[in-house]
């Protein structure tokens, strides 16, 4: 299990997100952003919009995804 923070994934806070794979952590970040925005947290809105926008531009989104996978792989096991 590895840990990345919301901030490491482009968000505004230091919430720790845990997962066995980079995809697990990315999915946890997506849910965290959805929940925060739904609760009225305006600081997370820009990160939520950026995450949604990445997938509208597949080349840019794939670059972010590959960078995130590399960063995840470089982390020590928790």
Q: Model-level pTM? A: 0.88
Number of domains in the chain: 1
* Residue 61, domain extent: 2-74
Using one digit for the tens of pLDDT, what is the confidence trace for 45-74?
A: 999 998 888 878 888 888 899 999 999 999
The predicted structure's pLDDT at residue 57: 83
The Cα 21–Cα 49 span in angstroms is: 23
Encode 52-68: b = buried (16+ Cβ within 10 Å), e = exposed.
eebeeeeeeeeebbeeb
Residue 54 pLDDT: 82
Question: 40 falls in which pLDDT band (50, 70, 90)?
Answer: very high
**Helix 22-38 vs helix 45-54: angle between axes, to the nearest 10 degrees?**
130
DSSP 8-state class, residue 1: -
Residue 78 has pLDDT above 80, yes or no: no
């Amino acid at each position: 299990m590895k840990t990345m923070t919301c901030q490491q994934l482009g968000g505004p806070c230091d919430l720790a997100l845990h997962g066995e794979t980079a995809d697990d952590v990315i999915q946890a970040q997506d849910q965290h952003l959805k929940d925060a925005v739904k609760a009225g947290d305006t600081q997370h809105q820009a990160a939520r919009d950026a995450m949604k926008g990445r997938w509208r531009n597949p080349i840019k989104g794939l670059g972010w995804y590959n960078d995130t996978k590399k960063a995840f792989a470089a982390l020590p096991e928790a």
